[in-house]
Amino acid sequence: MINTIYRLLLTFNATSLLMLIFLVQKGYSIGHFFPKCPYLVGTPNYLSYLAYLSVPVLLTGLSIILSSLLGKDDFQPDEISSIDHANNSFLPSYLGYFFVALSVGNWETLWFVYGVLFVFTFLSQALYFNPLFLLFGFEFYNITTKNGTSIFLISRYKYKKPSEVDVPLANRINNYTFIERGGNGSRFGEG
């Protein structure tokens, strides 16, 4: 049950920027949604946009904290045959959400497109790439084990070689996606 709730949260975090781009593109300030609140009517757009952005950022932070409740696993250096940095490989796909959001003309279309995107992202269960993790110092890696299993690792460590991957504790998001919460930077004395 906790895994399902956690995956729903990750899916929302990964897709919520679509709604944020729509709100910014349409110029909706917070006062638009709360017209009877005199403190919010007339709020400058940039403050509204920062407030909108704070929601997925805070929920991403919450998802990092809640990841400690997930199942635990580990990876030893002798289990890893290859590692590839995945930050840049998913960004073009993710930017596609932005272009979709810019072409959405109304609320009805937004909810339909967002609903379809949300369902497919959740059901794919393959990867939970969320660029907001980058703000928290995380990196994304595609790892292949010696038995041929492909794994997506979200980690604060900066791995470069398979022999460096020594993960004493990773939390299992699903069978192919793990998050390593500890650390900050490289374990190997580099940046």
pLDDT digit of tens for each residue in the chain (191 aa)?
788 888 888 888 888 888 998 999 898 898 888 888 888 888 888 999 999 999 999 999 999 999 888 889 888 878 889 898 887 766 676 777 777 778 888 999 999 989 998 898 888 765 567 788 888 999 889 899 888 888 889 999 988 888 888 888 899 888 888 899 876 555 544 44
Task: Please answer whether residues 71 and 172 qualify as being in contact, where contact means their C-beta atoms are separated by less than 8 angstroms.
Answer: yes
CA distances from 157 to 104, 109, 180, 187 (A): 38, 40, 8, 7
Q: What is the C-alpha separation between 75 and 142, in angstroms, rounded?
A: 13
The reported pTM is 0.82
- Measured N-to-C along each axis, helices 87-103 and 107-124 cross at an angle, to the nearest 10 degrees, of 160
Based on DSSP, count helices (H) and strands (E) in the chain, helices before strands: 5, 6
